[in-house]
Amino acid sequence: MIPFNAPPIVGTEIEYMQSAMASGKLCGDGGFTRRCQQWMEQHFGSKKVLLTPSCTASLEMAAILIDIQPGDEVIMPSYTFVSTANAFVLRGATIVFVDVRPDTMNIDETLIEAAITEKTRAIVPVHYAGVACEMDAIMALAQQYKLFVIEDAAQGVMSTYKGKALGSIGHIGCFSFHETKNYTAGGEGGATLINDASLVERAEIIREKGTNRSQFFRGQVDKYTWRDIGSSYLMSDLQAAWLWAQLEAATKINHQRLSLWQHYYDALQPLADSGRITLPSVPADCQQNAHMFYIKLRDQQERQALIDWLKEAEILAVFHYIPLHSSPAGKRFGRFAGDDRFTTPESERLLRLPLFYNLSDNNQHTVINSLLSFFS
């Protein structure tokens, strides 16, 4: 069986985890956490990076940090993972869904302004497949209407927009280190990127159960006390050790993924030229990270036929995201602004192919050959 995904493993994870064990400190904010955070601050140009248990936790932290209140509205695409919306619904917000662009499946920046009301507090661009949203347009709108921008960069680690790292452009950025993402912290993990210096102090307090424990450990205060609402949003240092192994190999992992991506693209180009499938597109200003390789089929029926065909050849290909506005919770907690021109029809055509760091050339050839034979 060729799996759809396998967690990235570079080989040095065990050694670093053993070193974390030997350090006698496994809880959050240990040596490996500090190394990972500093590495990301330097590489991605963020004021403060905080490791968290997941991107879901990072999004929840962000919603608390920008003080989302019941009745506030938050704008995002409907074509995304549930956590993007849930984090804000947990604070009582109403989600306002905006259609996606068919070329990137990212929120259509030209439709955002019409969705803004006096209740709007934030825009949450989701960088689908690690390809950037049109951030200049989104940041300009945010400035004009005094809104926060929280980037859901779960899929965008190591991608850039006009040379800037995804996650470092909005006021806050959220990364995922889940095993299905490009880099993992031993299966689960995340990071919150605080790019607005005025938010850093409160972010640390929210992450430490609402206390100023981080300042205490830096010797900035004599004792720590309960200061604010908060939760436990720390990553274990044992997981940070695993993540450190992956960050050290970040460029190698990125190159390998990009090369697999390009291989799919070149091999399937003839099918796109003859109009049988649509290939993904990456705008000129965006350097992607090959988080995903997807194709678009004619319709849902053809997609199912291809999934069955691949399964017959012991290859797992999957689709995802039933648009949130058409799900039971999405109907309860949100509304669609404008028309659903592309979200539903494009999501029904999309199919993801196996793409992961340890995918062998041989197995990739098998996938490509099986695809080509389906169409011939």
For binding to ligand PLP (CB under 6 A), which residues are involved?
54-56, 80-81, 83-84, 126, 152, 154-155, 176, 178, 190
Tell me the closest approach of the beta carbon of residue 82 to ligand PLP, in angstroms.
8
Active-site residue identified among 48, 119, 162, 181: 181
Q: Which is nearer to ligand PLP, 268 or 353 (CB)?
A: 353
- List, as one string, the DSSP characters of 67-86: T--TT-EEEEESSS-HHHHH
Q: Which is nearer to ligand PLP, 55 or 93 (CB)?
A: 55
Query: Cα separation of 374 and 188, whole Å?
Result: 36
Tell me the closest approach of the beta carbon of residue 68 to ligand PLP, in angstroms.
17
Q: Which is nearer to ligand PLP, 84 or 347 (CB)?
A: 84
Q: Which is nearer to ligand PLP, 58 or 120 (CB)?
A: 58
CB atoms within 10 A of CB 118: 6
Shortest CA distance to 10 belongs to which of 247, 259, 262, 361? 247
Q: Which is nearer to ligand PLP, 268 or 355 (CB)?
A: 355
Hey, which residues does 315 pair with through a beta bridge? 2
Residues 6+ apart with CB under 8 A from 116: 75, 141, 145, 147
Shortest CA distance to 149 belongs to which of 117, 167, 175, 123? 123
3-state SS, 169-197, equals: CCCEEEEECCCCCCCCCCCCCEEEEECCH
Tell me the closest approach of the beta carbon of residue 66 to ligand PLP, in angstroms.
17
Indicate if 162 belongs to the active site.
no
Query: Cα separation of 177 and 165, whole Å?
Result: 16
Q: Which is nearer to ligand PLP, 66 or 129 (CB)?
A: 129
Tell me the closest approach of the beta carbon of residue 174 to ligand PLP, in angstroms.
7
Tell me the closest approach of the beta carbon of residue 321 to ligand PLP, in angstroms.
9
Judged on CB neighbours under 10 Å (0-12, 13-18, 19+), 137 is middle
Q: What beta strand segments (E) does the chain contain?
A: 48-52, 73-77, 94-98, 120-123, 148-152, 160-161, 164-165, 172-176, 190-194, 286-287, 293-296, 334-336, 350-353
Q: Which is nearer to ligand PLP, 54 or 236 (CB)?
A: 54
User: Strand, helix or coil at 164?
Assistant: strand
Q: Which CA distances in Å does 45 have to 11, 41, 53, 183?
A: 28, 5, 22, 18
Tell me the closest approach of the beta carbon of residue 95 to ligand PLP, in angstroms.
14
Tell me the closest approach of the beta carbon of residue 346 to ligand PLP, in angstroms.
16
User: Strand, helix or coil at 335?
Assistant: strand
Amino acid making up residue 108: D
**Catalytic amino acids?**
181
